[in-house]
Chain A
Amino acid sequence: GQQLNQSPQSMFIQEGEDVSMNCTSSSIFNTWLWYKQEPGEGPVLLIALYKAGELTSNGRLTAQFGITRKDSFLNISASIPSDVGIYFCAGPPISGTASKLTFGTGTRLQVTL
Chain B
Amino acid sequence: KAGVTQTPRYLIKTRGQQVTLSCSPISGHRSVSWYQQTPGQGLQFLFEYFSETQRNKGNFPGRFSGRQFSNSRSEMNVSTLELGDSALYLCASSFDREGTQYFGPGTRLLVL
Of chain A, the residue at the smallest CB distance from B104 is A42
Q: Given the complex, which residues of A lie within 8 Å of B44, measured CB to CB?
A: 103
Assuming the A-B contacts A1-B59, A99-B56, A101-B45, are A42 and B98 also in contact, with contact meaning beta carbons closer than 8 angstroms in the complex? no
Q: Given the complex, which residues of B lie within 8 Å of A102, measured CB to CB?
A: 45
Q: Evaluate contact between A99 and B105: CB separation under 8 angstroms.
A: no
Q: Is A45 an interface residue (CB 8 A)?
A: yes
**Interface residue tally of chain B, by bracket?**
20 to 34
Tell me the chain A residues, 7-46 only, with Cβ under 8 Å from chain B.
Answer: 35, 40-45
- Cα–Cα distance between A90 and B101 once the two chains are bound (Å): 11
Q: Is A48 an interface residue (CB 8 A)?
A: yes
Q: How many A-B residue pairs have CB under 8 A?
A: 62
Show the binding face of B for A, using Cβ within 8 Å: 4, 31, 33, 35, 42-45, 48, 50, 55-56, 58-59, 90, 92, 94, 97-106
Given A43-B103, A96-B56, A98-B94, 5 more A-B residue pairs with CB atoms under 8 Å apart are A42-B4, A42-B90, A43-B43, A97-B98, A99-B48
28 residue pairs of the A-B complex, CB under 8 angstroms, read: A1-B59, A40-B105, A41-B105, A41-B106, A42-B4, A42-B90, A42-B92, A43-B43, A45-B101, A45-B102, A48-B100, A88-B43, A97-B48, A97-B55, A97-B56, A97-B98, A98-B100, A99-B56, A99-B97, A100-B58, A101-B33, A101-B43, A101-B45, A101-B101, A102-B45, A103-B42, A103-B43, A106-B42
